[in-house]
Structure 1
Amino acid sequence: MDTGESIADRSERAARVRPVVPIAAVAGAVVWLLVGLAGAGLSWSAGTSRYSSVIDLVLPPTAPPVVWAQVAPWNVVQPVLVAVLFGALLGLGLALVAGRPGWATSSRLLRIGAAWLVAVFAADLTALLWTVGTAVVDPGPNGYMWVLRDAIPTAVATGWFGTVWGWVPAVIVGGAPRLPAGSTSRTRAGRRTAAVAGATALVLAVVLIAVQPTIARDARVAAGGTPDGLPTETVTPTPRPAAPAPVAADPVTPGAGWCSAEDVQLSLSGVDGALGHRAMSVVLVNRSSSACIVDGFPDVAFAADDGATVAVPLEHGASYMGGAATPAPVTVAPGATAVAALAWGAGGTGEAVSTFWLAPYAGASRTPLTADTDLAADATVTVSAWAAPTTGSD
C-alpha cells in the first residue's frame, strides 16, 4: 500500500530505528572483553598452555595477563573499563567515517573495509592511551622504562585483535542500508554520535588513568603492606641476609667431561619483554683448549644492591618466553657457546634483584654478574636447561 512516503524518508526512518554505529561500538566492546577473557583463560589452563602462541593468534590478548590477576574488584573493573574505552573510540571513528560524503555512495564491500580499518586503529589507540597513561601516573618501583616497554607489545596484540575480530563491528556498520547522499538525518545523527563517543572516550581514559594509584594501593594492601607502602612505625632494622654462598648448598655430582667454572666464562644477555613477561639468556663460552659438556640446569642465586641474598623462587623447565624444558648433554667446543633462559613475570613489588650469581651447575663456583632488570623477590624465575644456541641467539 502506498503511504506517500518517499524512499529517502523511509531510509532516514530506518536509520533512526536502527542506530548502526552505537550498535557496532557496543558489539566491538563485547567482543574485546570476551576475546581477552577467553584467551587469558586458555593460556593459563595447564592443558592448553603449550598452545599459547596459537591461542594468541586466534584470541589476541586485549590486556596483559597480569591485569586479569589483580585483586578484586580491579580484575573485573579495569578490563571492563578498557573494553568500554575501545567501544567509545570505535564509535567515534565509525561515526566520523560514516559521516563522510562519499560513504552514502560507496559499495558495501568498501564500507566494510573502511570500518574494519577503523577497528584496528581504535584497538591500537586504546592500548596506547591505557599503557602510556598508566606509566605516567604510576610508574611502579622500577621507574618509567619498564612500564612503557609494555606499550609496544600491547599495541601490537590489540592491533592484531582489530585485524582478526574487527570484521564484527565492520559488518554491522558497512552492511547497513545506505542513506541518500546529503541526508540531513545522517549528518545530524553522525555528528551527535561522534560527539557522544568522543566525550565518553575522554572521560573513560581519564578514569582509567586516575584509578591506577588506587589499584597499586590495593595490591600493596592485599600483599600485607600498608596503603602508602611505608612502614606504620619505626622498628629496629632486621639484619640483612648474607651474600649468596660461593657454591650451592645442594650440589650435584658432575659427569665425566663436564665444564668446570674455570673452563668457562658466563655472561647475561639483555632483557626481552612481551605481554607482561620478561626473559634473558645465560651465555656460557668455553674458554679452555678442549671441548667440555654442560648438562642439566645452570645454578642461579640472587642478590640486592647491597649484596644481600634475595630469596627468589625458582623452577626448572621451559617458559612462555621459550628455553629448553628437558636437560640433555651439550658438548661445547673451545670458543663455542651454550645458552639457558631465565624468565619471570613483570610487575613484581618485592625487593629488587641487581646481581645474579651463576655457575654452570650446582656445586661449581658461582660468578656474580650485575644486570639492569625489573626482577623482584615476589616473582618466580623459570630456569631452562642448557642448550646449543639457535641462529640469532646471543
Structure 2
Amino acid sequence: MRTFLTRRLLLSAAIVAALWMATAGARDALLQIPSGIAQLSSLLPELVPTSLTAYQAGGFGIAATVVGGVVLGVVFSVIVALVRHQGARFVSSWFALVVAAALIGLGFDLGAGWSWIVAYGPRGLLSSGFGVAAAAGALWGLAVGWIPALIARVSVAEPAPARPPLWPVPVAAAAVAAVVIAGAVTDAGRNAAIEAEVAAQQEIDAASSFGALPDPDAAGVPVPETADATVPDDPQWCTEDRATVLKGEPDAATGHRGMPLELFNFSEQPCVIEGYPDVAFGDQNGHLLDVTIEHGGSFMAQDPGPQRIEIPAGGSAVTVLGWDAASPHDALVTNTVWAAPTPGMVRGSWPLELDIVEGSTVSVTAWTVDVDPTSPN
C-alpha cells in the first residue's frame, strides 16, 4: 500500500523549510548591517521575533531559525497528511502552509514571551509583542504557499484513504512544542548573555576609578543642609512631617542622562507643593560641586512649568533631573546627591556616583503629580 509520504511531499516540505529559513535569515542579516540598509528588514515578515534572531541572541538565534524551518516542514507535511482523506488538492496544500507557518510563529511568540509570562503571568504577553510572528507566518504562507502546493498536490485519480491517519496529531503537537522550547531557550540564552555582558562591564568599571581620586587636602566648602531661601507660609505645604523626597533610578540615552526624584506624601492628608525642587551635588571630597542648575526641560523630560499641585495622601509628585554625559576621568564628579522639596527646606542626601562633573549644567523640571504607579520609589 502506498504511503502518502511520497518523494513529492518530502520535496515540498524541504522547499518549505528552505524558503522559510531564507526569509527569516535574510531579515536577520539585514538587521545586522550597521547602516540605513538595515531598514529594509521591515519589508520582510517577522517570522522569528527580533529578540530571538542572531541579531540579538547570537548563536541561539541561528539555532532557533534552523529549528523553526525544520519543524515547519514537518508540520506542513502533517497537515497535508491530515487533509489527504479528502484529496490533497492545490488549494488545500496551499492553506496547509498558511496554518503551519502561523503555528510556528505562535510557538515562537510563546517562547519569546515566556520570561514575561513567568514574571507577570499571562498579562505579560501584552508587553512582549505576542502574536506578531504568528500573523507574519500566516501572511508569509499565503504569499509563498502556492510553490510547495504545486509540488505536494495529488491528482484526482489517485486514491485517498477513507479516513485521516491518527499519527500526525501527536507529531504536530510535539513539533510545535519544540518550537516553543527553542524560543524559550533562545530567550533565556539572550538574557543570560546580556546579564553576563553587564556583569563584565561592571567588573571593568569597578576596577577603574570614577573621577579623580579623593583628596583630603582639597579646597572647598561642604554642601549646605539648606539653601538661602524662605519656605512659603502655607498650612497645607508638604513639610518634612508630611512628605519626603525619594531618589529614582538614573536613566540614559545616547549622550544624555536623567534621574527622577519623587516627593512622597506619607501623611493621611493631602499636601501642596509648587515650583521646583532644591538640588545640589557633593563631590568625592565631600564638597559642594560647582554645577549650574537650570529650571526647565531636557532631552530626558519636558518641563510642565511651575504650578501649585495637591499631592493626595499616599500619592507622589515627580521631577526629573537631566544632564549631558561627561567624561569623569580625573575630574571632580558627583558622589552625593542632595535635594529638598523647595529651596529653604532641609535637604536629604544619597550617596550616588553620577557623571555630573564640575562645570556641568543640570536641568530640573517642576514638580508635577505622578500618575504612573510604576515610578521608582
TM-score (normalizing by structure 1): 0.47
Which structure has more strand as a fraction of its residues?
Answer: 2
TM-score (normalizing by structure 2): 0.49
